[in-house]
Amino acid sequence: MIGILIFPDFQLLDAAGPISVFEIAARASGKPLALRVLALNAGPVRSSSGVEMMARDFKSANAITTLVIAGGAGVAEAARCEVTRAFVQRLAKRGARVASVCSGAYVLAEAGLLDGRRATTHWGRTRDFVARYPRVKFEPDQIFTRDGNVWTSAGITAGIDLALAMVTEDQGEEIAQATARQLVLYHRRSGGQSQFSSLLELKAPNGRFGGLLSWARENLDAPLTVEELADRAGMSARHFARAFAAETGTTPSKAVERLRLEVARERVQSSREAIELVAETTGFRDPERMRRAFIRAFGQPPQALRRAARAG
């Protein structure tokens, strides 16, 4: 049985998206839907939109084998709730598959279930999440992650991707594809695909270096050294490096590498270009250098990401 955990001020789509996936998958497979919506207190639970969802309390969760935790504006209070944390810990301890959508990852983190594990959440929560939970192997640029029986997903619609991956594991690729078609999803995304733009995560478009980074993204085949960027910004290299780090939270060289990785991965996953050509035109030059950068950033070489994208 699948449980969907909600709380006051939860994000409605975080719960409704996976529910719809599991409902349609059950219909496609001809099996009855075994799903319960759960909350600390039984009864109507108000979402952040004002729409309510009926829930049962935790006492009715004895048959739960998969738990999906919604995110939303009220997640901080839910994550601080000792009863909620104990409930999630108890399910995980007995071997249930536990998962989060968007900021629902905070509940898993507060329960200690993400320590030493790979995890993700909404890109807008990245800095806060990393600061709060340094023991988590955080992967900000992922649609969803799986580490053992613990799954996490990025913002809102990524919960649909996570649920589809669970359907694939439980009922096979054919049922998952039929479910995706019924949901009118053009392409079921693999977990390794990017959830956001590096420019957005750097908060650069609205800052004083926004134009510079947008230019850099369009000229990745140029050297893009600190000196070149500083000159274009009309600053000394030393002053530029300090000011850039203060505003974006990273160094110019790391920001450029992230932009190169973003564009390179888009092309690796969506085209049939030779890996060598992608490396050359995105500024990595050497395919081996790009391969090492991919492994550092995504845990996989370009060829593996291409295979996963085609399989998805």
- Residues taking part in catalysis: 102
**To which H or E segment does residue 110 belong?**
helix 105-110
Evaluate whether 260 touches 284 at the Cβ level (below 8 Å).
yes
Evaluate whether 99 touches 152 at the Cβ level (below 8 Å).
yes
Rounded to whole angstroms, the Cα distance separating 270 from 266 reads: 6
Structure-token pair, residue 111: 């329960």
Instruction: Give buried/exposed letters for 172-200 (b at 16+ CB in 10 A, else e).
Output: eeebbbbbbeeeebeebbbbbbbbbbbbe
In this structure, the strands spanning 118-119 and 137-138 are: parallel
Positive or negative: CA dihedral 50, 55, 57, 62: negative
Smallest Cα–Cα separation from 122: which of 143, 151, 108, 137? 143
